[in-house]
Amino acid sequence: MTEQQEPSTTTRYTPSEFEDSIYQIWQDSGLFTPPADGLRPTFTVMIPPPNVTGVLHMGHALNNTLQDVVIRHRRMTGYDALWVPGTDHAGIATQAVVEKKLYLEQDLKRSDMGRDAFVDEIWKWREHHGDVILNQLQKLGASCDWSRTKFTLDPGMSLAVRTAFVKMWEKKLVYRGSRLVNWDCNLETAVSDDEIEYVTRKGQIYTLRYPLADSDEYIDVATTRPETMLGDMGVAVHPDDKRYAHMVGKNIALPLTHRLIPIVADDSVVADYGTGAVKITPGHDPADYERGQRHNMQVMNILNGDGTMNEECGQFAGLPREKAREEIVAAFEKLELFVGVEDITHNVTISDRSKSVIEPLVSEQWFVRMSEMSQPAINAVNDGSLNFKPARWKNVYLDWLENVHDWCISRQLWWGHRIPVWYDEDNTPLASIEDVEIGSLHPETGKPIVRQDEDVLDTWASSWLWPFATLGWPDSETSQDLTRFYPTQFLSTGRDIIYLWVARMVMAGYAFLDEMPEADRCPFSTCYIHATVLDGQGRRMSKSAGNGIDPVEMINEYGADAVRYSLMILTREGQDVKLADNRFELGQRFCNKIFNVARYVMTHLKGDFTAPADSAFCFEDKWIKSRLAHLNVTISQALENYDFHDAAQALYRFTTDDFCDWYVELSKRRLWAIDDAEVTDEVLASAQAAKNTLGEVLSDLLKLLHPFTPFLTEKLWAELPQDFREDRGLLMGSEWPVADEAAQNVELEHQFDKLRDAVRAIRNVRALLEIPAGNMPEANVHCEEESDVELFNEQASLVSFAAHLESIDVKSIDAASPVATGTDVFSAGAIFLPMPIDADTSKLRSNLEKKLSKIKGGLIGLEKKLSNAKFVENADSEIVEGERQRMHELQIECKTVEANLQNL
């Protein structure tokens, strides 16, 4: 596509006919890969790696369009722009998918296969399905450097993960210990505090009676999980609660067991809540764990990894926890120790992966000491090294870091980065970057190594290294990319992983890149938190709700550019976007507008082209060039500041209003003039100036549109005559247009606005008076300022052509108003149009009265809505502003109709 292509003969915008072929041309061009010469400054974006199990959803479509807009713009503005793609191995999610597949298709469980065979099956699955989402991103137009595609289990990534682990080991930042963790019984693994959700569910609270040992007294306790009583180690009461003061220090004979447990006083108990007595189960409740620590209580685990009761539970051993609950309640009833049950609604902790209820239990796991690593990440925001957009999200980031807990990084899975620790026969650990051979001697104890740790690392323990591990760290021989492209400049991600991923990446940059100056360690300078895509009713899209919109289906129906542009213009900074299928029609109509105006312009750019003299350019030529120069500044600044909606909206207004509706329409009077029998050189030169302006504006407009609508603009660029594309290559590789400062003329734009406002007023009156389209009356224009009288006299032919008039008679505002006319005011005065000779005034009056009644009814409804404080506070600001604008328009329209009724 380096040579000019013949303009398309198709009369319809049909993206399916060219999008795939254009993407292939881009890939073949090598422009996705930055040149190796390193002569230009760099700009780097790291894709948030989607799960290898994933398919493109609307959140991906939004986020990757944002990133592609950024990278295409920076590529055109002179940067060696690199966008690194890749996927995440998604430990829990991927293992669950393959386990389910094997069970359904072959009736196999991973325990039947063994670790190595099972992991081999996952790799096979990954080879067949792992790149689906990356291929879908190509359909969207993502201009990633696919030659640098990374997978979080690639050998280079594995080396980075092991290196980071060993560095933490050497600094004593990682340790293994028994602690209360969040346990997913479905997946049989620990999950971190950041991988759980709280949901409101209906449940029951049970009151159990505990008898005191050697006494007839008893104490009642309430719990939502009666089965955990088998792990109770005590009962706590408030030290000032007089009801129980005499019991403190005594023992309870715990029912269904042969154990005695103490009654203790603890300030954390709320005396007037429930019975005022709290059972302490240190092994299965975070608050109880803390209470147990304070009172030196033993920790007992009563659950197996799959959620069944373990051998500590006597007659209930082996039962699923739900069944054990039923049988324990029945046993208490039989012992006449069951007080009652009450239905409640309460918060339940669930796993964000399996959605099963989390069981807190004590387990031996690996942890990272986060508090010691958090301060540099806090400083990065405070000293301006890292900026959030919108800025309010820095508070979420800082709040998490300032209250950070140790990170449980081990998972009881087989798919993932296996923890690089080996043990000798006495369980003395050894951390190593390289594999340690079984049977070799431990360097410190001299005893033989007998096994490697069975656990794998949390998925985030590889993705927190993503910004620099993908660039070659820690391999110094292949890390030229790290020197050249790190730190990166822009990260776009969702609010839900600010602490799961964003904060940890910043921590990792400062912790592991100790060979770099500290000022260069922050992995990105801007973190853009994009909107959440909701359905049309404002609900989050999800598979379970069945309310998702498939981006690939939308691309097939509307085209990738329509999907991209719709997402950009509908998404305002800091506001979530409500989306329904038909919202993409907005982007489709816009792309169709671009397609049609480009085809029209190019029909007038055929043949040899000679640039006209400056004197041939007229008022509207200078106006559109000034508007284009201002647009260039607006778009460039908006993209530099990551104001995507503002840029998309400015492009829409210029393209549809300034260019298509006004300049292109006005150019027709000069282009059509050359078809007259007696055409002068002056007319020819003026037409040539119009053609030149059309070509120049279209050329720059295609460049400004390209980051948003790359496929369509690339196609049209190839068809643009070479006189209007200084670079004969691909549009993607062309230079960003430079705003013509000399063309900017604010006063001329202000003058044109007056002319345009007058034309709109004339059109409005024509509609009100029902003047047939074929009629070309003479209009009177009365101006308030003498300078405007001169302006309208100079541009009388422009106004007459645009308003479909025979002519205009321009006078001062002091002139007498003509009789038998319709009227309207505009920004510089008033216009008057004569009544049609054959006008039926009674019918016209009736129609205007009906219209006035309808307008006033609309105003009453809007005034009522906008005076409703709840509507103004709760509705989207965009909707409220739209209603205010509509009310303003109706007020103006009301005055116009009333004035014309008075004239009648």
CA 11 to chain centre: 35
In the beta sheet, which residues pair with residue 223? 206
> In the chain, how long is the greatest CA-to-CA distance?
123
Distance CA(326)–CA(345), nearest Å, equals: 19
For residue 694 the two structure tokens come to: 């059309």
Distance CA(162)–CA(462), nearest Å, equals: 9
727-736 in b/e form (b: 16+ CB < 10 A) is eeebbbebeb
Nearest by Cα to 210 from 309, 114, 72, 336:
336
Provide, for the chain, the percentages of residues in helix, strand and coil under a 3-state DSSP scheme, each rounded to the nearest 5. Answer: 50, 20, 35
DSSP designation for 240: T
Compute the radius of gyration of the chain from its Cα atoms.
36
Rounded to 5 degrees, what angle do the CA atoms 862, 863, 864 make? 90
pLDDT digit string (tens) for 248-305? 999 999 999 989 999 999 999 998 888 999 999 999 999 999 999 999 999 999 999 9
Q: Which residues of the chain have pLDDT under 70?
A: 1-11, 476-478, 543-544, 677, 839, 844, 904
Distance CA(256)–CA(263), nearest Å, equals: 18
Strand bridging mode 150-151 / 86-87: parallel
Q: What is the pLDDT of residue 873?
A: 83
Hey, what amino acid is at 208? L
Instruction: Give, in order, the Cα–Cα distances in Å from 350 to each of 92, 181, 347.
Output: 15, 13, 10
Rounded to 5 degrees, what angle do the CA atoms 95, 101, 103 make? 100
509: left (phi > 0), else alpha (psi -120 to 50), else beta? alpha
| Burial class, 400, CB count within 10 angstroms (exposed 0-12 / middle 13-18 / buried 19+) | buried
Task: State residue 388 phi and psi, 5-degree precision.
Answer: -100, 145
For residue 477 the two structure tokens come to: 């021989």
Nearest by Cα to 125 from 462, 355, 415, 459:
415
pLDDT digit string (tens) for 229-241? 999 999 999 999 9
Numbers of helices and strands, H then E, in the chain: 29, 29
Which residues, other chains included, contact 318 with Cβ-Cβ below 8 Å and sequence gap of 6+? 308, 309
What's the first-to-final CA gap in the chain, in angstroms?
62
> How many CB atoms lie under 10 A from the CB of residue 449?
21
User: 3-class SS at 423?
Assistant: strand
Could you identify the residue written with the tokens 């290196």?
163
Nearest by Cα to 99 from 118, 124, 114:
118
CA 429 to chain centre: 43
In the beta sheet, which residues pair with residue 197? 350
Distance CA(513)–CA(521), nearest Å, equals: 6
Q: What is the pLDDT of residue 214?
A: 86
For residue 693 the two structure tokens come to: 């302006």
Q: What is the pLDDT of residue 163?
A: 97
User: 3-class SS at 714?
Assistant: helix
What domains, with CATH codes, occur in the chain?
Answer: 189-360 (3.90.740.10), 421-453 (no CATH), 577-744 (1.10.730.10), 748-903 (no CATH)
Contact 531, 577 (CB under 8 A): yes
Task: State residue 255 phi and psi, 5-degree precision.
Answer: -55, 155
Q: What is the pLDDT of residue 5?
A: 63
Contact 697, 628 (CB under 8 A): yes
Nearest by Cα to 356 from 201, 541, 543, 178:
201
Hey, what amino acid is at 782? H
| DSSP letters for 535-547 | ETTSPBP-TTTT-
Q: How many residues does the chain have?
A: 904
Distance CA(260)–CA(672), nearest Å, equals: 103
For residue 73 the two structure tokens come to: 């713009």
